[in-house]
Amino acid sequence: MRNTLLLMIDFQGQPGLQDQNYMNSRYIALLDILNRRNIDREKCIIVYFGTKLEDKQLMSMIEFSRLEKWQSFDITIETNDAYDNITIDEFCKIIKKYTTFEIAPHITNIIVGGTETSGCVFDNKNVGAFHWALRGYDTSIYLPLCCDFSSYGLTWLDKQKAGLSIIFQTIKNSEMRNTIIKNLSLTSTFDELGRKLPWTDTKITAL
């Protein structure tokens, strides 16, 4: 069975520039994943990159995830508060400090969420979905975990649509587009996402 890395990039984002209901929907989507007690905790980890301590809601979720026996790691402090644009190789070296979880294209699914669907989540960060897909990883951007504030548009839905348009154009213009198309998915429902997660018949018992 394949394992899965859930990567949350700059999850809080810029709350002063976003509609609070729009922001809150992402936390609900994350909580929906954390509540699934038959996701195999041995084969699935969550890594937060670019968190802010003042984000009390996310801090509560990180604590809740530990009570739910998730392997949950915040590597923000390892990356100069996420200002260091680390590579995938550097990311994997950091993860090895915390866990023996193996990350490799032939065994690991990558699921990415966070702030700026067409920016840091996709390719502005060197650990964005585009770069994992280039490496041959089965990679998904889970749209309910994403948000946009710098894309064009008068509504938050319009902004995300604009972000998706940028992603399409970037892939279209890439010399490696065949590799990206093969390995990258944009996922909008949990039913789709569930195919990328490791499941077990035995539900965990929370602490």
More confident residue, 153 or 186: 186
Per-residue confidence (pLDDT) for residue 20, from 0 to 100: 59
User: In the structure, what pLDDT confidence band is assigned to residue 16 with cuts at 50, 70 and 90?
Assistant: low
Inform me whether the pLDDT recorded for 15 exceeds 70: no
Residue 206 gets which letter from DSSP? Answer: -
SS3 state at 91: helix
Q: Taking the CA of residue 170 as centre, how many other CA atoms within 13 Å lie in the half-sphere pointing to its CB? A: 17
- Asked if residue 177 lies in contact with residue 126, where contact means CB atoms within 8 angstroms, the answer is no
Least Cα distance to 57 among 16, 80, 23 occurs for 23
